[in-house]
Amino acid sequence: ETFNLDEYVGLKASHQQSYHTYMNKVLFEQYPHFAKNHIHIPDGLSENLEAEAERYNNLLDERGPIDIQILGIGENGHIGFNEPGTDFNSETHVVNLTESTIKANSRYFDNEADVPRQAVSMGLASILKAKRIILLAFGPKKKEAISKLLN
């Protein structure tokens, strides 16, 4: 089974910049043996986002722990959409994206105004339940965040 870290609020699963579309392109279309009912991504279109976060937490508790959690780190050290200072006890929750995250993610959209302002993201406690965590950092802009993490 797969459990996605997060999803933007307000984007259809078919939207080019949704994490549903991204995961389909980079993983599920490449390895079509994944059963649809074993692919889990938060629903950013839910009418009740808090209930969706709770549903996702319950699913993680029922099916977990995650064997391998693969994460990227942002330029400012954010993991998923959990900004520095996020409570380590946080589970899946609705996140208001910071201006720096919106600006950084605008490169994936036609313009900054198109970037969603919220996301549903696994929290740090949810992430830390994984058996193994792989943290990826690409590019020189991540150097400072990694340095702070290690020191």
Residues with catalytic function:
6, 76, 78, 83
Label each residue of 15-80 as H, E or C: CCCCHHHHHHHHHHCCCCCCCHHHEECCCCCCCCHHHHHHHHHHHHHHHCCCCEEEEEECCCCCEC
Q: Rounded to an integer, what distance in angstroms lies between the CA atom of residue 135 and that of residue 70?
A: 6
Q: Provide the 10 A C-beta neighbour count for residue 101.
A: 20
CA atoms within 13 A on the CB side of 90: 20
DSSP for 64-126 reads: ---SEEEEEB-TTS-BTTB-TT--TT--SEEEEPPHHHHHHHGGGSSSGGGS-SEEEE--HHH
